[in-house]
Amino acid sequence: MVAGSGWSRSRPAIQLTYQEDSPMTINRDRTRRRSHGEGSVFYDQTRARWVGQLRISTPDGRRRTRKVTATTEREAARLLRELQHQQRTGHDITAGSMTVTELIEKWLRDVAPLKQNPRTVEINRTMIRTRITPTLGSMRVTAVTPDHIEQAIAGWVDDGLARSTVMKLRGILIGAFRVAEQRRVVTWNPARLANLPPKSATPEPRERQVITEQQTRELLAASRDSRLWLWLWLGFSTGARPAELSGLHWEQIDLDAGVLHIDRSLHYYPDGPVISPPKTRRAVRTIDLPAELVTALHDHRRAQAIERDAHGGWPAEWAGLVFPTANGRPIDSRDLRRDIIALGRRIGIENLTPYCLRTTVTSILSESDAVPPEQLADLLGHVDTTMVMRHYRKRITRSVNVAAGLGSRLAAGSQP
């Protein structure tokens, strides 16, 4: 007996059993177990509809039932055959009722860890929980259209989110729906087709701070008596990322050859700090150090040994850090940011953050020393010059004077 069919126990329900590419048969044997992929059609009196039913096995070994309904037996049979055809051609018909939340959880579990580090995955998870789930989470994946996503984007913009954050949220949806496309749950990616609002609708992005060479000297002088002095000097001399400097080990520095080998960085996860490889191969690089900095590193290593002995030893798991705290542990990124902001204010600069070192180094080398963009990309550990020119190179002089000499020569040649 079929649940909800309205048939009495004394009268067995007649089921019309369909197998793809097979003629219809009438099944009066209620105890026969239907094989995988075999469907049936029956009349549900409570709904006054014909129902096509297909039982299938999911990848995790469980059995699920997909149903289609129609006003006539013939239409229900046709819909059932279409369902069987979708299954045969590789469509994931078990995901017909999947919600956006379930899809994104699948993306977070199976796809995101392959392309993103754990810290980025956790940040994305927080953004999903606070922004995507409340607006789109309960919708069925197959029902989402570009209009739905554009409405969600408009709500995020009204909440005052930065354009970069809105783009990240849309990128998460694009990645999740790409999984649905690959599994043939949907035939299109609505997130990719959704338009972003004009730039004027979102707050202007805050310009990354950049300081001049003179201000860099003042900053180093202001930090001379702090633990950050050598950290800052090495950062201004190499353009290394803050996480690369904070995770630096002595084995990465060849003091005899005067070179720094960058092949790891420090990241903070919910469970604590972790030293891990860089995101890309290009981030692994070797940088020459100035002789004065090598001498300072020699002195720093000797002073560090004295401090460690006076402390009674530091945690073995962090042995070898070039820039540990006073108790031998890695620098906390929040403390680092706070201290650098405070140092910037001492010399009259607001919003000076750890990443401003890379911006400053790139801008000074590009403008004052005329270093080619390709060499700057090598220094910063980027694949090409796109990120260098778009995000790191800033103009540090009040006026652009590169054409002044040409103008003088032209004027001299045109004088009578």
What pLDDT band is residue 186 in, cutting at 50, 70 and 90?
A: confident
Q: Which amino acid is at 238?
A: T
In sequence order, which ranges of 96-162 are alpha helices (DSSP H)?
100-110, 112-115, 118-127, 133-136, 146-158
Residue 246 pLDDT: 94
Q: What is the pLDDT of residues 281-321, one digit of tens each?
A: 888 999 999 999 999 999 999 999 999 988 888 888 898 99
Contacts of 142 (CB under 8 A, 6+ apart): 96, 98, 185, 186
Instruction: Give CA–CA dist 245/238, Å, rounded.
Output: 10
- 236-250, 355-369, 389-403 — most confident range: 236-250
Interhelix angle 146-158/163-182, rounded to 10 degrees, is 160
